[in-house]
Amino acid sequence: MNLNIVGAGFSGCITALNQKNLFDNINIFDYKNNIGGILNEIEFNDSFFLNGCQYLDVNTDWFKTLLSTNLFNFHEFNHSYSSYTNLEGYVNSSNNVAGPIFDINNFDLKLFKKKNTINSSIKENFDQYPESIKKLLSKWFNNFKLNDKQIHFLSLQSIQLSRVFFNKNNNEIFNLKNNYKFLDDIIGVPRSFYTNKPLKAAIPFNGYNKFFKTLKNYLEDNHVKFYLRSNIKLLKGVDDYYFNNEKLKSNQLTLWAANPVPLISTLNLGKIQNPFIKVNLYHFNIISNVNSFDLFKYIQVYSLEDPILRIYIYELDNHPKIVVEAFQTADIGQINYSLNKILEHFNINIDYKFIFTSLQIRHIFYTIEDKKIFDKFSSNNSQIIPGAWDSYSRNDKIEKIGKNIEKIR
């Protein structure tokens, strides 16, 4: 059996790594001249900068496989995430949670209500919270200028908004979460309630571009073939699929680990609404010493005053840097002001210099209608394997793709 993989991003390449011993031949196609997709760094004046807050989970089989080759060099660290929430007119913050935090005196279960359907919208998800929280979440979400009645609530994971947190009463909330499933889905407690184990993560020591070059060489040595500058089109005839005009043979499976929009359209499965967002990335060099505790710190921001979404302090080739992800409407003056204020709030004392800004289109949201099309596609069990487009986290994507392949192989 042979496997074609369309898209040499993280999903496609790691799937090739996981499946290399299970297929006779694996071919990977990408329309770009290099592999790595959105993980590739951005080059500016001969320096490289991360394309957003991008780290890898070390507790996965594929990471262990990579380590066992002795070809890769990673920065491994205790992953720390923080929340800076300023939705109620004052700051609630934590170094143990990465969602929005609300003030609470008495936790009243009666103020929460369960939504009716599984395929519900972001608005219906927010409607489960007490009035004041619901209003603030909707107001903040409006920054994305998307219709919260159309977008599937599961895409809230991508902005760490599937659960909200409270600054008090966590013991009581933890017990209620165990008794009420719907509450468990929409409210979080700090991770320490479940485990004391530190969360480990990694980024390639010399960056993702070099990481993918090494991965490509390793996969090629293991009989995986790469076809770059290949824009793949898949068509469906009466009974057969055509892969760039060539009929797919019965011993060929195709994984579509790439943009699903043209695929769904040419297979006549409907039209994906594709509610993308634009995010500005602000790149800084750190020009002072950084406390090792602050390195690889990741701060999730929910604020009606600050245009920032996330802050990530990282290091590439021994150079410490910051990437700030922000709503597109922000300007560098506002970013500098908010960044300074937030770092100060967390007692992070570093000097930094703004280098440049870049724009990123993110396909992290999908509508309820898009999800129905994805589900229909997945239940089809054909020769075409969906790339887990509705999963956000890299691990979820890889796991789901693995299961989809196993089902058909």
Ligand X SMILES: Cc1cc2nc3c(=O)[nH]c(=O)nc-3n(C[C@H](O)[C@H](O)[C@H](O)COP(=O)(O)OP(=O)(O)OC[C@H]3O[C@@H](n4cnc5c(N)ncnc54)[C@H](O)[C@@H]3O)c2cc1C
Where does this chain bind ligand X (CB under 6 A)? 6-12, 29-32, 37-39, 230-232, 257-261, 272, 274, 363, 366, 370, 387, 389-390
- Minimum distance from CB of 396 to ligand X (Å)? 11
Report the DSSP beta bridge partners of residue 242: 235, 247
Sign of the CA dihedral with 340 first, then 342, 344, and 349 last? negative
- Minimum distance from CB of 98 to ligand X (Å)? 20
- Minimum distance from CB of 244 to ligand X (Å)? 9
Tell me the angle at which helices 394-408 and 10-19 cross, rounded to the nearest 10 degrees: 50
Nearer to ligand X, 188 or 387 (CB): 387
- Minimum distance from CB of 256 to ligand X (Å)? 8
Q: Are 390 and 307 in contact (CB under 8 A)?
A: no
Burial of 273 (0-12, 13-18, 19+ CB in 10 A): middle
- Minimum distance from CB of 27 to ligand X (Å)? 12
Whole-angstrom distance, CA of residue 64 vs CA of residue 232:
31
Q: Is 298 helix (H, G, I), strand (E, B) or coil?
A: strand
376, containing H or E segment: helix 368-378
- Minimum distance from CB of 389 to ligand X (Å)? 4
Which amino acid belongs to residue 68? Answer: S
Best CA proximity match to 230, nearest among 1, 66, 12, 19: 12
Q: What is the 3-state secondary structure (H, E, C) of 12-62?
A: HHHHHHHHCCCCCEEEEECCCCCCCHHHCCEEECCEEECCCCCCEECCCHH
Nearer to ligand X, 10 or 153 (CB): 10
Nearer to ligand X, 30 or 306 (CB): 30
Tell me the angle at which helices 61-68 and 10-19 cross, rounded to the nearest 10 degrees: 70
- Minimum distance from CB of 25 to ligand X (Å)? 18
Best CA proximity match to 394, nearest among 281, 257, 297, 283: 257
Nearer to ligand X, 32 or 345 (CB): 32
Strand positions, DSSP E, 287-406 = 297-303, 308-316, 319-327, 352-362, 384-386
- Minimum distance from CB of 388 to ligand X (Å)? 7
Nearer to ligand X, 231 or 381 (CB): 231
Nearer to ligand X, 152 or 177 (CB): 152
- Minimum distance from CB of 97 to ligand X (Å)? 25
Report the DSSP beta bridge partners of residue 165: 101
- Minimum distance from CB of 184 to ligand X (Å)? 25
Nearer to ligand X, 136 or 388 (CB): 388
Phi and psi, residue 273, nearest 5°: -80, -30
Nearer to ligand X, 72 or 374 (CB): 374
Nearer to ligand X, 13 or 97 (CB): 13
Nearer to ligand X, 187 or 219 (CB): 219
Best CA proximity match to 4, nearest among 210, 256, 242, 277: 256
Burial of 94 (0-12, 13-18, 19+ CB in 10 A): middle
- Minimum distance from CB of 361 to ligand X (Å)? 7
Best CA proximity match to 326, nearest among 281, 277, 275: 281
Nearer to ligand X, 38 or 104 (CB): 38
